Amino acid sequence: MELKGLERAILRAEMAQRDLPLEISISQVEEMNQAVVMARLLVRYRTGYLQSKIAVQDAGEMWIVGGVVGVSYCRYQEFGTRFMEAGPYWRPPVWEAWFRLRRRTRKAIQKVLNVG
């Protein structure tokens, strides 16, 4: 009788462990997309060109967050110059997403470890 319970617990743990990488990948995409939404809200804009170029791009084995290729002034907007005050639109949402993702990953791992 105990052996059946142990086999069931092992099976549940194996299933949870198999689903963990997928769950973490989904969490990464969701959090980065949320960072893009927040960055688009925070960016100061006149024409909206920089705002429209903020995105998450799939680059095969990794994700490129930002995607402001072709917008030469994006770094000045983020960090400022001696003539212009910085208007950080990208770093705050990315850090928030990082901490939320870290929390979600920790919960997913704890769920796998606590199965049984």
Strand extents, DSSP E, 1-116: 55-58, 63-66
Length of the chain: 116
Mean pLDDT by 10 residues, the chain (116 residues): 61 71 83 89 86 80 68 87 92 91 88 68
pLDDT of residue 22: 81
Give the C-alpha separation, 88 to 39, whole Å.
9
**For residue 86, what is the DSSP state?**
-
pLDDT of residue 56: 79
Amino acid at 20: L
Token couple for 5: 């319970």
